[in-house]
Amino acid sequence: MTEQLKGSNELATPASLREDSRILVVKLADIGDMLLATPAMRLLRESYPKAHLAALVQPSCAEVLRGSTLVDELILFDQHRYDSVIASLSPAALWSAARELLGLRQKRFDCLLLFHHMVTDWGVAKYAALCLASGAPRRVGLDDGRAWFLTNRVPDQGFGARHEAEYMLALVRAVGAEGPPGGLELPIGATDREFASQVLRSSVHPRVAIHPGSGTYSLARRWPASRFAEVADRLALEEGVDIVLVGGPTEVALAAEVKEHMRAPALDLSGRTTLRQLAAVLEQCDLLVGNDSGVVHVAVAAGTPVVAIFGPTNHRAWAPYQPSMTPRENRVLHRIVRINVPCSPCLYRGHRLGRRQGCPNRDCLRLLMPSAVVAEAQEALRYLWRHGGKSKRAT
């Protein structure tokens, strides 16, 4: 029997796995959350170098892990097919789920690590079906009192009580993984860097990337395009930087709106890059200014400082994560800008989803003025230049 803390399901003495274990990590999330899982996956890989590590991920996130040394096997699973009870009960969905779950069971995993919170009742039901159908005798995850289907549970203290990356690190430590955590990982190849060099062209000026989007999950996270334009113009005028607009295929019109409001020139790369090409572009920028989104975490993985704008979302849960830095260094290079209103955050608060699209007023973003964002960006740039950062510009 594994010893447990009195009154808690968190392991007092983590029970290690066999060296040659077959381990499945389940992370059915978007790109930012997938990147935040990579420190835990690296620790797992280094603790069990002889194990077979597989990851069950959404197709949209496969590029984060494809070709990485973090995993031996990628298994794609489109969870959006089962977002609602009605959709999940259609004959096509039931047949697809049965086929995919049978395939998982045939892989005979020894341990399943569920990198998810139990947010909704339907979510609990889906994760229970997935975990039990896998046949893994050891099932490890977070518990808010509803994760009855797990064999080993780490207490879920709610969103923001721990950083999301720290929650996942706690799960791998519950199976005996040991050591200090590393940073976010996203492989960038030589062809990606060559692409970035070609589209960015040589310049004597520092580069600042602007990301006005927020992905498709919650558009409530978006600060107005006109305010991003004002920030970009001021940085171009006062700091002499080149502006690069970035974003995914669904954010092309938004980037065009920012460019339309700008007086300074800007290179618009929105919708023109793959994930790894975007990482290579950000790697060659001095700073990213953008909304809370997966692009912030791509920049951190690429080693680029960020100024992240948080409104409805929980900054304590999804702040830029770089454990190799001291807290002071992290605050200096990776800055969070937000308005401290009593109702923020309203999305992912406590143990619940909260307001996915925020409130009608969105004071947390409406009251945030461009001057506050410009000031943080200027401080980040000047700190970099003083301490021999990316830019060679003298101060």
Q: N- to C-terminal Cα distance for the chain? A: 62
- pLDDT reported for residue 52: 98
Helix axes 252-261, 225-239, angle to 10 degrees: 50
Q: What is the pLDDT of residues 182-238, one digit of tens each?
A: 999 999 999 999 999 999 988 889 999 999 998 777 788 899 999 999 999 999 999
Distance CA 251, CA 247 (A): 6
Number of H helices, E strands in the chain: 15, 14
Q: What is the mean pLDDT of the chain?
A: 90
- pLDDT reported for residue 27: 97
21-35, 252-266, 377-391 — which is least confidently predicted? 377-391
Which stretch of DSSP H or E encloses residue 23?
strand 22-27
The CATH number of 22-173 is 3.40.50.2000
Distance CA 346, CA 8 (A): 28
Q: How confident is the model at residue 390 (pLDDT cuts 50, 70, 90)?
A: low
pTM listed for this prediction: 0.92
Q: Which residue has the higher pLDDT, 390 or 323?
A: 323
The pair of structure tokens assigned to 61 is 């996130």
Query: CA-CA distances (angstroms) from residue 267 to 232, 247, 292, 304?
Result: 12, 12, 22, 18
Looking at domain 190-386, its CATH class is: alpha beta
Q: Could you please report the per-residue DSSP string of 355-372? A: -TT--SS-HHHHT--HHH
Query: What 3-state DSSP class applies to 113?
Result: strand
Q: Which residue has the higher pLDDT, 197 or 12?
A: 197
Q: Which residue has the higher pLDDT, 354 or 194?
A: 194
**What are the domain boundaries of the chain?**
22-173, 190-386
Q: What is the pLDDT of residues 42-95, one digit of tens each?
A: 999 999 999 999 999 999 999 999 999 999 999 999 887 877 777 777 777 778
Q: 22-173 and 190-386 share one CATH topology?
A: yes
